[in-house]
A = this chain, B = another copy of it.
C-alpha cells in the first residue's frame, strides 16, 4: 500500500538542525533553534553574508494547473535533493503554508511523497509563529485605526473609505463581510469591515519584500490605510504605529531553516497569496540561500503567467538577481485538460489530447525565454501517465529545442530527479552569457501600458479593458504619484486568459481590469480581473474532521 505524506514524514530520521546549519557553514550562534529540527537565522548571520557572492538561482514554475496542482513544491524539493546528491552545495527557498487550507481541504503543503520538507507537521501547523505574528500585526493596525476613530478621528478618516481589513489564518467565509463597532458609543464606531486570510495581508507581502528591519519599518509606514472624505490618503505613518508593528514582526522577519527528507537545507519563509500579492517566499530567504549555497532552488505560486511573471517583474528587481534557469513543471493530466479532456477522464490514456494541450506549455516556455533565461521542462510523473503520452511531450519539446526530463521525485526522492538536475546544470553552464530582460520598464510606462504589456506578451491577449472604477483609480494613482510601481496581476490561475474555462493557449481575448489597489507598503499596484477570493470557505466536511493527536503526541490527519 502507498504511504501517505505524513506517514513518510513521520518515519523519517531527521538530522539535528545544528547539523543542517553546519552543512552550509552556519554556527550554533548564528541560528535560534525552535525545537530540535527547526531554527531561525539571526539577523547578524544574514549581515555576515552580505559580501559573499551569489550562487545560481533556479526558479520552478508551471503551466496553468488542474485544480489538484501540478506538484511545483514537490519538484522543487526533489530537484534540490538530486542536485545535492550530485555533489552540488544546494539550498531550497520555499513559501510557508497557511493553516486555513490545511484545516480545510489540503491537509498540508510541504511537498509530497519522498520529496518533502520536514518536520512536515510543524511546518503545516504553527511552525515558528510567522503567520501568527503577521495576523497580530495586521489586526493591531485595525485596532489602532478603530481606536483612532473612537477617540475623535483627528485624521478625519472616512469610515466608508478604509482599505485596511482584518485577517485570520483560517478559512472562514462568515468573516468576509462583517459590521464592527456595534453596541453604542462605548463600543467603537460602527462601520463595514471584512476579514481576509492572513496570507492575503499586505503585511505578508511586505515581510517577503523587506531587505532588513529598517526597510520593513519604512514599508509598514507607507501602507495606505484609506482616505478622508476629501480623498486625502492616510498612511500608517500618520497613525505613528510603524514602530509597534515592526516590533511585532521582528522575529517573523528572520528566515526559517528546516531540511528535506534527504537532509538538504531548506529555508521556508513567508507565503503571500499569488493573486493579490506576488506569491513567492521572502527576499531574505532567497538571498540567504544564494549566499550560502552554489545552487538555490525556489518556486513561484500558480502558473508561470502569474507566479513567474511576478517573480521576474516584482521580486527580481528587489532581489537584484535573476534566475539562471527556469523549470516549467507540466503534468500529463494537465496537458490533457488543456487538450479539452474533462477532469473525470484525465486518467484515461489520450496522446492526442496531450499533443493538443501542449500549446499551453509552449506559450509558457516562450514567455520565460523572452526574459532571456534558459528553460527546462519537468514532466512530473503521475501513476496514470503512459509512455506514449510522455513521448509526445518529449518530442514536442525537442522540436522547439527545449530540454525536458521526466521527474519521479514523489515516488523516488532525489533518485527520481537526477535527470532533471543534469539538464538544469547543463542549461545553466551553457548559458553563462545570458542576460535578463525585464518585461516592462517600471518607471517609463504608465499603469495601463504596463498592464497591456502583461496581457499581450504574457497572456497572449489582445488588450486590457478598464472599468470606469478602474479608470478613476488610475486617475487617483497618477494624481498621487504612485504610478511608478510594478503591477501585481490578480487573475485566475487556470487559464492564460481571465476566463478559467478558456484552456490551452487562447488568443484574441481581452482582459477586463475591474479594480486597481495601490499596495504602497509592498510597493506594487494590484490589478484585479474578475472576483478574487481573499478569504476561502470550508467544505462541508473539512479536513479537520479527520485530525487528531496520537498516543505519543504525533499529528494525525495531515496528509
Contact = CB atoms under 8 A, between A and B. Distances in A.
Contacts of A171: 143
A241 interface: yes
Nearest to A184: B177
A136 B176 contact: no
B544 A244 contact: yes
A557 B176 contact: no
A553 B142 contact: no
B174 A241 contact: no
Given A243-B557, A244-B544, A544-B140, A181 B174 contact: yes
A33 interface: yes
A283 B425 CA distance: 57
A445 interface: no
Interface stretch (A50-58, A146-154, A400-408, A461-469): A146-154
A69 interface: no
A294 interface: no
Contact of A142 (B146, B172, B549): B172
Contacts of A170: 136, 139-140, 143
B183 A177 contact: yes
Contact of A188 (B126, B136, B174): B174
Interface stretch (A255-263, A305-313, A534-542): A534-542
Interface stretch (A79-87, A246-254, A379-387, A411-419): A246-254
Interface string A167-194: 0111111111111111100111100000
A226 B126 CA distance: 28
Given A188-B173, A538-B147, A125 B180 contact: no
B136 A169 contact: yes
A237 to B, nearest CB: 12
Nearest to A548: B243
Given A140-B170, A168-B139, A125 B34 contact: no
Interface in A228-251: 240-241, 243-244, 246-248, 250-251
A173 B189 CA distance: 9
Contacts of A99: 136
A133 B247 CA distance: 20
Interface string A522-559: 00000000000000011010101111110001011100
Contacts of A392: none
Nearest to A187: B176
A129 interface: yes
A250 B554 CA distance: 9
A151 B179 CA distance: 22
Given A132-B132, A150-B537, A178 B182 contact: yes
Nearest to A181: B174
A99 B147 CA distance: 16
Interface residues of A, number: 72
A140 B243 contact: no
A36 interface: yes
Contact of A549 (B135, B143, B168, B217): B217
A36 B32 contact: yes
A163 to B, nearest CB: 16
A559 to B, nearest CB: 13
Contacts of A169: 136
A40 B187 CA distance: 38
Contacts of A147: 172-174, 537-538, 540, 542
Contact of A34 (B34, B177, B547): B34
A252 B179 CA distance: 32
A180 B174 contact: yes
A544 to B, nearest CB: 4
A247 to B, nearest CB: 5
A40 B542 CA distance: 30
A199 interface: no
Given A126-B133, A129-B126, A143-B171, A243 B34 contact: no
Nearest to A253: B553
A35 interface: yes
A181 B176 CA distance: 7
A304 interface: no
Contacts of A105: none
Task: Kindly list the 4 A-B residue pairs having the minimum CB-CB distance in the complex, ordered from nearest.
Answer: A243-B548, A174-B188, A132-B132, A177-B183
28 contacts: A32-B36, A33-B34, A33-B35, A34-B34, A126-B129, A139-B168, A142-B174, A143-B170, A143-B538, A144-B544, A147-B173, A147-B540, A147-B542, A149-B174, A150-B173, A174-B181, A176-B182, A176-B188, A177-B182, A179-B182, A240-B545, A243-B547, A243-B549, A243-B557, A244-B557, A246-B548, A247-B547, A247-B557
